[in-house]
């Protein structure tokens, strides 16, 4: 074969060595990365929703006024997942609750650990192991004043090679005494997938 072709083949060989796609790699990724992998609900969507809801609640003027005087007690309700995906919605409310707690403006009660609490208090009261003076009595817990409720829905559209998924997360703060919704906000996310001409 002629020399020009030889040079080209040599260059291709050297070039292919520099392409590292042959070996498998394992590394830590960035937990805050916003690179969408699919139109399914992802970690970046969870982070965006949590931050948007917390930011909105913290700066809402009636809430600013209420939290300037004291820290209201809030209970977090389960998210009504109206999407067709199986999503761990408790992790969304966990993130929101953690951020709101760390802001120092709110206090929270957690109903999911009630069974363990009752068992612990029963042991303190009845087992005879715990000093009566330091044992915690039943009926002293503080009741929640507010309830944080949320809905999560999606609208999925598919046409030809385009898949478009729209997510909407709505959250509201309900005053348990008056029944009034003191605050409500929503976060919308859209993820679009266009299938390329050459597959994948």
Partner 1 sequence: MKQKKNFVIGGIAAAALIASLALAGCSTTAGVEATGRTSWDEQGARILEKNVVFNSSGLKGDIQIVDVKSAMAGDIMRAQATLRSKDRDTLPFQYRFEWYDAGGIEINSGAGSWKPLILYGRETKTIQAVAPDPRAKEFKLKIREPD
Binding interface with partner 1 (CB under 8 A): 2-8, 10-12, 14-16, 18-19, 31-35, 44, 47-48, 51, 54-55, 58-59, 61, 64-65, 67-68, 99, 102-105
Shortest spacing between CB 163 and partner 1, in angstroms: 18
Shortest spacing between CB 108 and partner 1, in angstroms: 15
| DSSP calls for 77-105 | EEEEE-SSS---HHHHHHHHHHHHHHTTS
- Cα separation values, 68 from 58, 63, 169, Å: 11, 8, 27
- Decide: 170 and 184 in contact? Cβ < 8 Å: yes
Shortest spacing between CB 118 and partner 1, in angstroms: 33
Nearer to partner 1, 24 or 134 (CB): 24
| DSSP calls for 3-45 | HHHHHHHHHHHHHHHH-GGGS-------TT-----SSS--HHH
Nearer to partner 1, 16 or 162 (CB): 16
Nearer to partner 1, 67 or 124 (CB): 67
Nearer to partner 1, 67 or 93 (CB): 67
Shortest spacing between CB 184 and partner 1, in angstroms: 17
């Amino acid at each position: 074969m002629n020399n020009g072709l030889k040079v080209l083949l040599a260059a291709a060989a050297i070039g292919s060595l520099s392409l590292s796609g042959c070996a498998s790699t394992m590394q830590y990724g960035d937990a805050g990365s916003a690179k969408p992998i699919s139109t399914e609900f992802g970690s970046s969507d969870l982070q965006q929703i949590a931050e948007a809801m917390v930011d909105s609640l913290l700066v809402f003027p009636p809430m600013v006024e209420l939290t300037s005087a004291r820290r209201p007690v809030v209970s977090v309700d389960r998210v009504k997942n109206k999407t067709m995906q199986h999503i761990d919605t408790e992790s969304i409310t966990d993130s929101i609750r953690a951020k709101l707690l760390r802001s120092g403006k709110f206090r929270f009660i957690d109903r999911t650990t009630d069974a363990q609490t009752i068992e612990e208090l029963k042991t303190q009261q009845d087992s005879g192991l715990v000093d009566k003076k330091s044992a915690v009595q039943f009926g002293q817990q503080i009741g929640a004043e507010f309830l944080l409720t949320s809905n999560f829905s999606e609208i999925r559209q598919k046409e030809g090679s385009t898949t478009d998924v729209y997510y909407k997360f709505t959250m509201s703060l309900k005053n348990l005494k008056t029944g009034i919704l003191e605050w409500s906000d929503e976060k919308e996310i859209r993820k679009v997938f266009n299938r390329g001409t050459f597959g994948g």
